Amino acid sequence: MTEPSPVAQELVQTLTTGGQTVAFAESLTAGLASATVAGIPGASAVLRGGVVSYATDVKRDLLGVDASVLETVGPVSRECAEQMAATVRVLLDADWGVSLTGVAGPSKQDGHEVGEVWIGLCDPQGYTVALRAYPQHSHRWILVPGEATPVAVVDGNRNEIRRASVEAALEELLKLVKLMNTPKEENDR
């Protein structure tokens, strides 16, 4: 058994203090983000649950990702990550929705490089954002067709990519939860 994630510990504490909950929609991480949070004592107060949507049809049929999104930009995309996060938040009646979709490897998927990972976040008001996973110490830069500049992808083998993606998602969620739960006067400083 591995040591609990310090980021997950802080996230559980912060969500508990704020009386908020979280739900996950996971593709490449296949439940690892939910399990990471569930490994923290007190997680039952904040973790509503998770949906593993490994297959594209599950993203469409269970999480309501638009078929047009899946056909045009595919499941490894900003649009898909945003829709997954928004739907799981509502589906599991959580304050926050988080999604992870991408390519863990060992080979490319539909033209997407190994390590290309999108994190979707949906806040309590239903606003969504998606960003590329960019772990601080485990990334590399590549040229991606259609992008004007190099983009960061998660570096490592399949399991390293999955673990780094979870940590990146939890870090981004923690930042956003802290920002949203900070009184406006403190944000203006």
Give the range of the structural domain holding residue 156, as residue numbers without chain letter: 6-182
Percent of the chain with pLDDT over 70: 91
In a domain, 106, yes or no: yes
* pLDDT tens digits for range 63-92: 999 999 999 999 999 999 999 999 999 999
Structure tokens at 143: 């040229």
Percent of the chain with pLDDT over 90: 77
The three-state secondary structure class of 24 is strand
Residue 54: CATH number of its domain: 3.90.950.20
The sheet carrying 128-132 orders its strands as 47-52, 22-26, 96-102, 117-122, 128-132
pLDDT value of position 111: 85
Q: Is the pTM of this model over 0.85?
A: yes
pLDDT value of position 187: 54
In a domain, 10, yes or no: yes
In a domain, 52, yes or no: yes
